[in-house]
Amino acid sequence: MTASSQPLLDCLIVDDEPGIAWVMEHLLLTGGYTAVSVPTGMAALAALRQQRFRLAFLDAKLPDIDGLQLAQQLRELEPAMPIILVSGYYYPDDPAILRALESDTISHFIAKPFTNGDILAVLAGLA
């Protein structure tokens, strides 16, 4: 079965910190979303080739790839999918983040530490 024939899942979470992935996944699940979490960029690319997702949350620093580079690769596979970069490394006014938002490499940016409200606000904006 190809990714286009699979049912659409809501959220792909890419974060190598198990605690952050767990919090995000459970927040999304309690909000009625389906969610799958993976710890690396390679796993994210594999998941997206196997399954369709409505949106993706990406950590900016992963063990195998920079989150902005991964966002570019995900954008090539799914041009219309919203990509939310979550980072404790970058700041909202960082030139790299502003360029990524301007070029639509990422759709939104959330700084770590984040609140449940930060995640829910992005989801509400996408609905």
85: in domain? yes
CATH number of the domain encompassing residue 37 = 3.40.50.2300
1: in domain? no
Asked if residue 82 lies in contact with residue 107, where contact means CB atoms within 8 angstroms, the answer is yes
Domain residues for 51? 7-126
Token output for 105: 């490499």
75: in domain? yes
Task: Read off the pLDDT of residues 33-43 as tens digits, 9 standing for 90 and up.
Answer: 999 999 999 99
Give the separation between CA 57 and CA 75, rounded to whole angstroms: 13
31: in domain? yes
pLDDT score at 97: 96
What average pLDDT does the structure give for the chain?
91
Task: Read off the pLDDT of residues 1-24 as tens digits, 9 standing for 90 and up.
Answer: 444 444 457 999 999 999 999 999
Q: How many domains does the chain have?
A: 1
93: in domain? yes
Average of per-residue pLDDT across 88-103 = 94
53: in domain? yes
Q: 């920079």: which residue's tokens?
A: 66
Asked if residue 25 lies in contact with residue 49, where contact means CB atoms within 8 angstroms, the answer is no
2: in domain? no
pLDDT score at 41: 98
Task: Read off the pLDDT of residues 67-86 as tens digits, 9 standing for 90 and up.
Answer: 999 999 999 999 999 999 99
Burial of 61 (0-12, 13-18, 19+ CB in 10 A): middle
Residues near 85 by Cβ (< 8 Å), separated by ≥ 6? 58, 60, 67, 68, 71, 97, 100, 106, 108, 109, 110
Amino acid at 93: D
81: in domain? yes
Average of per-residue pLDDT across 89-115 = 94
For the packed helices 116-126 and 18-30, what is the interaxial angle rounded to 10 degrees? 50
